[in-house]
Amino acid sequence: MKRVLAFFGAPTVLLARTARATAREGLSWRESVVQLHELGGRSVWLVMSGMAFFGAVLVTIANSQARRFVGNVAVLGPAYFELLIRELGPVVSAVLTASRAGAGHAAELSTMGVNEQIEALEMSAGDPLADLVAPRVVAGLLGVPLLCVLGTVAATLSASAVAGLVFGVDGRAFMDPRYVDGWDLLAAALKAVACGLYIPLAAAVAGLRARGGAEAVGEATTDGVVAASLGCLLIDFAVSLGFQVLRL
Amino acid sequence: MDSRSVSVVVETPARGLGALVLALARELGAIALVAARTVLGLPRLERRELARALVQFGYDSVPLAMATAALAGVIVVLQSGLYIQRFGARAFLGWAAGYGVLWEFGPLLLGLIMSARIGARNAAELATLQVGGQMEGLRGIGLDPFAILVAPRVVAMELSMLTLSTFTFLVAILFEAVAALLTLGLPLRVFFGTFAQMLGALDLVGGVVKVGAFGLAISLVSTAVGLSARGGARAVGQAAASAVVRGCAAIFVLDFLLTLALAGWMS
């Protein structure tokens, strides 16, 4: 129970403290842009290539399911496309980003903590929360939704290509937005933004807690990645359940 | 444009491509070397280290794997529910949800989460030893670091993943059945009826084969990354981060290849 509370509570407390510190100290936009490049520019290849493979897998499954039922992937295509837009696109992209950015953030912050650079920053009248955590949170809020869009596009394109080249189905049958409505897009956007907020916070909680030597850096990195990935899955589940309960 | 600037324009993409190919060859070579040395080290495998790794990788990952499984199951049902109701094929939910978890979401999510948890820790531990010069120390007193450090990790990871996969699938399917009952009002009997009718033992084998392949990929990639770390404390953090990234990339590529191979082989 204590662990569950800490899992949700620590990032929330950190967010509140970061917001207060940022209101007091101001936010460095330059640093935020640097962090956005770190998070987005460096993850974009991983997310897009991973999602391209994922789209190919999705259409392979749709094809084998459709062959048992109706004989043509064109029937299941639109449903799978909705599934991709609403569910798998944002979540798998966010988990991939979490593994890359979460590990990077946690490793950086814990290395700084272990080498006493954070104390040095405090001594020179800096604020670790406003100077280190806030730019990463801003980068996550902006970067993760963008990465989710790119990942979903990559998955869709590769799914259409595989459908056309391998299964001989018209690739456009998969990209049929017949079932996609505004609510799907809203669910996807909510998930992307919430994951973008959660990933840097979870990584920062793990990274700032690290004390000790090189061992502690590895430990903090692991904790940050696990917390960020699991958090993305939980956010996805919560949003889906909310929409299901409200019958949207 | 004079001839020199043209040659630069032509050269840069070619150079980038060459660097990419070289980097890829180096990665694959490192993994192949680790795999070969691990197989050679198997007879002299350190048993105590194996036991410790089994507890760390298998037993300690159980809560995380179960949480992932439960979430995956509920998410699959919530989503399939949307279009199952649309097609009016409610009875098929058991089959569709079971198929999704066994073949795709179960193995993939388990692989990604385990890559984050175990891959990062493996790489960080080995990189710490490598950076601290303890690897050379082992070699200096005539011990094979692969037999003592790497082989136990690879074997333990493989055993843990295979064991965890079965549990994960069970938990995921149970949660699916309950979620279907609560959200769609689908009786458990109907859910398990289509599940048992339309899924064979082969479907289960497919999922287990995938998880086994992912486990091998995670352990080999993370140990290769950890052993090739050079530098100081920074290199340890970098090794941990890059092990996770490469593990995830390897899992996606393997997932696609195995889906194609198994789907082709089964139909």
**Span A113-170, pLDDT tens digits:** 887 888 888 888 878 788 888 889 999 999 999 999 999 999 988 888 888 887 777 7
Predicted pLDDT of residue A76? 66
In this predicted structure, the answer to whether residue A111 has a pLDDT above a threshold of 90 is: no
Nearest to B83 among A79, A225, A230 (CB): A79
A49 burial type by CB count under 10 A (0-12 exposed, 13-18 middle, 19+ buried): middle
- Give me B65's structure tokens: 């794997």
Chain A: residue whose CA lies nearest to B61: A226
Predicted pLDDT of residue B98? 75
Cβ neighbours for A162, distance < 8 A, ≥ 6 positions apart: A55, A56, A59, A60
- Give me B25's structure tokens: 């060859």
Nearest to B99 among A50, A65, A237 (CB): A65
- Whether A53 and A158 have beta carbons less than 8 Å apart is answered as yes
- H/E stretch holding B231: none
- Whether B161 and B56 have beta carbons less than 8 Å apart is answered as no
Do the Cβ atoms of B236 and A218 come within 8 Å?
A: yes
| pTM of the shown model | 0.81
Among A113, A95, A80, which residue's Cα sits nearest to residue A204? Answer: A113
Instruction: State the Rg of chain A over Cα.
Output: 20
Provide the shortest C-alpha distance from residue A144 to chain B (in Å).
Answer: 16
Do the Cβ atoms of A218 and B259 come within 8 Å?
A: no
Provide the shortest C-alpha distance from residue B49 to chain A (in Å).
Answer: 18
**Predicted confidence pLDDT, tens digits, chain B (267 residues):** 455 555 656 667 788 888 888 888 888 888 888 888 888 888 888 788 888 888 888 888 888 888 888 888 887 777 776 666 666 666 667 777 777 777 777 888 888 888 888 888 888 888 888 887 888 888 888 888 888 888 888 999 999 999 988 888 888 888 888 888 887 777 777 777 777 776 777 777 888 888 999 999 999 999 998 888 887 767 777 787 788 888 888 898 888 888 888 777 765
Do the Cβ atoms of B183 and A244 come within 8 Å?
A: yes
Q: Higher model confidence: residue A109 or residue A67?
A: A109
SS3 state of residue A247: coil
Chain A: residue whose CA lies nearest to B68: A230
Distance, CA of B115 to CA of A228 (rounded, Å) = 13
Tell me what the mean pLDDT of segment A62-71 comes to. 68
SS3 state of residue B243: helix
Residue type present at position A102? G
- Give me B37's structure tokens: 């040395």
Among B26, B23, B22, which residue's Cα sits nearest to residue B34? Answer: B26
Nearest to B79 among A87, A100, A103 (CB): A87
B11 burial type by CB count under 10 A (0-12 exposed, 13-18 middle, 19+ buried): exposed
